[in-house]
């Protein structure tokens, strides 16, 4: 089996250009997670590298399959220069390690919460996992491995996260769209949820 991470990094570089910074975090009992930073115009993108090294395993499965199963990396895009968004590196690494640590299978529509602001002063403690395929195309791997999906993360305020739990991810995304919400604004306020 080919080592997945060099292929994943090559796909990120093809889609986003050369990273201008990278940081690595290792949590006890997990493999190393890196976060790469890319600048494109007025947008800064943070992409995890390491989450896809192993397939995500259903926590109810008796045995973890070392080859088959969904694989993903996370991508967060925000406006550059508004606030200290580089402090998001550790929270992103925590989210990327959650399949190894907590046995989560991260899929579009899921909410991921770090329990603290994503960066200093951020009005967000959680993210909505969006559909892949727009910014970075899926990376096909040799059979029988599943492709690596690059999942965009959309920051949510606590009110939005609570509303999403009741009404669902699609309804929240429709609210954002109807209000013309700039989801890349790192200091935006919660969308009206009446």
Each residue's pLDDT expressed in tens, for the chain with a length of 194 residues: 458 999 999 999 999 999 999 998 887 777 889 999 999 989 999 999 999 998 988 766 667 677 888 999 999 999 998 888 899 999 999 999 988 888 889 999 999 999 999 999 999 999 999 999 889 999 999 988 899 999 999 999 999 999 999 999 999 999 999 999 999 999 999 988 87
Take residue 66 and report the two structure tokens written for it: 């070392």
Query: Dihedral angle at the C-alpha atoms of 68, 70, 75, 76, nearest 10 degrees?
Result: -150
- For residue 1, the model assigns a pLDDT of 44
Which pTM was predicted? 0.93
- For residue 101, the model assigns a pLDDT of 82
Q: Are strands 126-129 and 148-156 parallel, antiparallel or unpaired?
A: antiparallel
> Residues 23, 87: contact at Cβ < 8 Å?
no
């Amino acid at each position: 089996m080919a080592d997945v991470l060099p292929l994943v990094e090559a796909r990120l570089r093809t889609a986003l250009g050369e990273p201008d910074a990278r940081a690595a975090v290792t949590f006890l009992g997990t493999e190393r997670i890196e976060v790469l930073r890319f600048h494109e115009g007025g947008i800064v993108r943070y992409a995890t590298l390491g989450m896809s090294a192993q397939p995500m395993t259903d926590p109810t499965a008796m045995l973890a399959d070392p080859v088959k199963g969904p694989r993903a990396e996370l991508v967060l895009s925000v406006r550059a220069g508004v606030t200290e968004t580089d402090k998001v590196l550790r929270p992103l690494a925590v989210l990327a390690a959650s399949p190894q640590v907590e046995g989560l299978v991260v899929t579009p529509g899921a909410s991921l919460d770090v329990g603290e602001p994503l960066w200093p002063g951020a009005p967000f403690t959680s993210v909505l996992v969006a559909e892949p395929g727009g910014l970075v195309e899926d990376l096909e791997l040799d059979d029988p491995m599943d492709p690596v999906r690059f999942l965009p993360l959309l920051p949510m305020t606590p009110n939005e996260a609570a509303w999403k739990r009741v009404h669902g991810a699609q309804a929240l995304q429709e609210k954002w769209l109807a209000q013309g919400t700039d989801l890349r604004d790192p200091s935006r306020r919660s969308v009206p949820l009446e």
